[in-house]
Structure 1
Amino acid sequence: MSSFDTDLYPLLLQQAAALVQDEPDLIAKMANLSALIYNSVPELNWAGFYIMREGELVLGPFQGQVACVRIPVGKGVCGTAVATGETQCIADVHAFPGHIACDAASESELVIPVRSADRIIAVLDIDSPVLNRFGAEDQSALEQLVRLLEQSLV
């Protein structure tokens, strides 16, 4: 459950929309969104993107500690988000079967698939050193942020 005031999300979404609106480059958009999330949302130790490349997730723009570079589809929380096509909101990553511990300090994780032309092209991955960090409001707002990114790709 979120332990802070979620009034930050309307402003965060406004800022995200402005960052992606007129920028054609996907990597530039992901880089700025990673920084925005990491510096705006409390209690995070990692925020960034993994990009689908040749059938696996490859590290993209992020903020935080050094990360795993490649994640197979179906492995860990990120790979599971791609395999299922659904957001993964994990209260305790250590209880998640097959969790990939890129940063041992991570306790909870939120992963949201990013789509373009009806296929998953990336995932937004957000980690926290706090157990049960992400609540329904966090998930909803960050899914809206991903939708803004997706709409900017058309």
Structure 2
Amino acid sequence: MAEDLSIVQGDKIAQYQSIIPQINALIEGEPDLVANLANTVAALKEQFNWFWVGFYLVKDDELVLAPFQGPVACTRIKKGRGVCGASWAQAATLIVPDVEKFPGHIACSSLSRSEIVLPIIRQGEVIGVLDVDSEQLSHFDEIDQQYLEQIISGLNFED
């Protein structure tokens, strides 16, 4: 596929319905995980212009920073710490309307106001998370959860 994206304006659902097939085309047939994660976050950042979007992968009992788009980020996160660590520990998507009100929030940037973190679960085990931050309060909802879960379910984390 050509590396140009077709960016769609309009409501959130229309934007997801446009970007998902483009992400799928970008990663189809590419076996390299890092390349696929990088193109996935680049496409999401370009379409939605979120403050930060990226992956953390579980390595040696920590979440370790993986491909992302946005300002520099925390490199390692312990299980249960912050929104990412809590999502990992609970194996559940967390939508945080105001990160300042989340107990133990890790402030990698003071500009982040709301967040959604989705666990990547393979064979019953959390192997990473997709983390998305916004500069706006209450930016994420169940629509984001539904479509972001669809995106991460399409990623191949097999060796």
State TM-score, norm by structure 2: 0.89
Q: Deviations over 1:108-133 (max 9, x none)?
A: 00111112232211110000000000
User: Percent sequence identity over matched residues?
Assistant: 44
Alignment match, 1:57: 63
Alignment match, 1:132: 138
Quick one: distance in 1 between partners of 2:113 and 2:83?
A: 12
Contact kept? 2:88, 2:129, Cα under 8 Å: yes
SS in structure 2 of the partner of residue 99 of structure 1:
coil
Aligned length: 148
Shift of 1:19: 2.1
Does 1 or 2 have the higher relative contact order (CA < 8 Å, sep 6+)? 1
Q: What one-letter code is carried by the residue in structure 2 that aligns with 1:84?
A: Q
- Is 1:46 paired with 2:63? no
Quick one: distance in 2 between partners of 1:61 and 1:45?
A: 15
Alignment match, 1:121: 127
Alignment match, 1:72: 78
Contact kept? 1:16, 1:33, Cα under 8 Å: yes
Q: 1:9 aligns with which of 16, 34, 52?
A: 16
Structure 2 gap ranges (5+): 1-9
Q: Deviations over 1:21-70 (max 9, x none)?
A: 2111111111111101111114x110000111100001110000010000
Shift of 1:81: 0.6
SS in structure 1 of the partner of residue 154 of structure 2:
helix
- Is 1:23 paired with 2:30? yes
Structure 1 consecutive aligned stretches of length 4 or more whose deviation exceeds 6 Å: none
Alignment match, 2:39: 32
Shift of 1:85: 0.2
If you compute each CA radius of gyration, which structure gives the higher value, 1 or 2?
A: 2
